[in-house]
Amino acid sequence: MKHRFILISFIVIAAGILFIGRNKTYSRDIYGTFDTLCSISVHSASDTTEQYENLLRELDRKLNAHTSDSLVGRLNSGETVTLAPEMTDFLCTAVSYTNMLSDYFDITVNPIVESWAKAEENSALPDDIPQKLKLTGADCIHIDIDNNTAQLKEDGTSITLGAIAKGYAANVIADKMRQDGISSGLVNLGGNIYALGKKPDGSEWNIAISDPKNSAQAAVTVKCTDKAVVTSGDYERYFELNGKRYHHIIDPKTGYPSESGLNSVTVIDRDAELCDVLSTALFVAGLDEAKSIIEKFSVDAIFIENNNIYYTEGLRDKLILNNEKFTLIPLNQNNL
Ligand code: AMP
Ligand code: MG
């Protein structure tokens, strides 16, 4: 009996080793979703990346603000839209972040985003920002939770999920990977990164954070396990007019690209959606107002301001500096 038990244990362990040994890394680049290049890789026994691509395309079809037949497009054209229950949940979450962080994060800034898109097209500053500011605020959108419907309340109002959708999508894909039993994977939705589990060799993932002045180069690398790493920066999308840079992150109080002095903010947490919201919000808030937000949501963050890289306590042993021009500065009671 004892021998049989040892033999069975041996077979089970050997089969396990054989199975793990058969795992390979499968990667795929995905073009044309979320207005950016996305890539997904998994370390598993078979290639499951196609189903994650399909999932990503399905989410993009719903959440893209630029297509008129998407859920967001239909809402923005004034339709009362019937939602799948998970979309009701997602919209409610986006609205509740807008309520909690209204000075910094507001999904109803879309009329202003459109004014700035026109400004770029015409190479002329917008002259309608004061009127557009009146069309913003979380009360513009009405969600009927019982009937799973949503509508915008006023003519001219519209929403963008550009600052939260990629984080939501990264969560959905990471959750699906977990359900599929994948313990090592990497999701990169145009810089919204989900590092699932550990690297195939068992060590921590190394996620590079761009130098905002030269985004192809890394400023600092963060080591992490099973975390989302999401960055908002003034170098990601911008245009220049009369020598001044106008980037894509709007201060909901002024209707102008935020001028907090920060060049980028990276937020690190298990919840990619929260990271996406907070990287945008903290970028607008700036260092001085960051403390209460970081404490409220208990996340780690990296702030790049010129050649200074500020980081929260939880990242103390997790950072590797890639460029000597930067100085790493821990955030503490004195400077946060
Ligand atoms: P992110 O790159 O995640 O910071 O999101 C920026 C995108 O979200 C922009 O391209 C806009 O579509 C939208 N956006 C800009 N400013 C804000 C804001 N303050 N709150 C919410 N969404 C915003
Ligand atoms: Mg964001």
Q: What is the pLDDT of residues 295-324, one digit of tens each?
A: 999 999 999 999 999 999 999 999 999 999
User: Rounded CA gap, 300 and 283, in Å?
Assistant: 14
C-beta of 160 in contact with ligand 1 (< 6 A): yes
Q: What is the DSSP string of 184-243?
A: EEEEEETTEEEEEES-TTSSPEEEEEEETTEEEEEEEEEEESSEEEEEEETTSSEEEETT
Assign 288 a pLDDT band (cuts: 50, 70, 90).
very high
Token duo for residue 272: 């990619």
Q: Ligand 1 centroid vs 198 CA: distance in angstroms?
A: 30
C-beta of 106 in contact with ligand 1 (< 6 A): yes
Residue 276 has pLDDT above 90, yes or no: yes
Q: Ligand 2 centroid vs 149 CA: distance in angstroms?
A: 25
Residue with tokens 């950016």: 36
Q: What is the pTM of this model?
A: 0.93
Buried b (16+ CB within 10 A) or exposed e, 222-242: bbbebbbbbbbbbbbeeeeee
Mutation test residue for ligand 1: of 107, 158, 250, 260, the one with most atoms within 8 Å of CB: 250
Q: Ligand 2 centroid vs 249 CA: distance in angstroms?
A: 9
pLDDT digits (tens, 9 = 90+) for 179-197: 999 999 999 999 899 999 9
Contact 25, 41 (CB under 8 A): yes
Mutation test residue for ligand 1: of 160, 193, 231, the one with most atoms within 8 Å of CB: 160
SS in 3 state form for 249-276? Answer: CECCCCCCECCCCCCEEEEEECCHHHHH
Q: Which residues pair with 328 in a beta bridge?
A: 309
pLDDT digits (tens, 9 = 90+) for 23-70: 999 999 999 999 999 999 999 999 999 999 999 999 999 998 788 889
Mutation test residue for ligand 1: of 109, 263, 264, 276, the one with most atoms within 8 Å of CB: 109
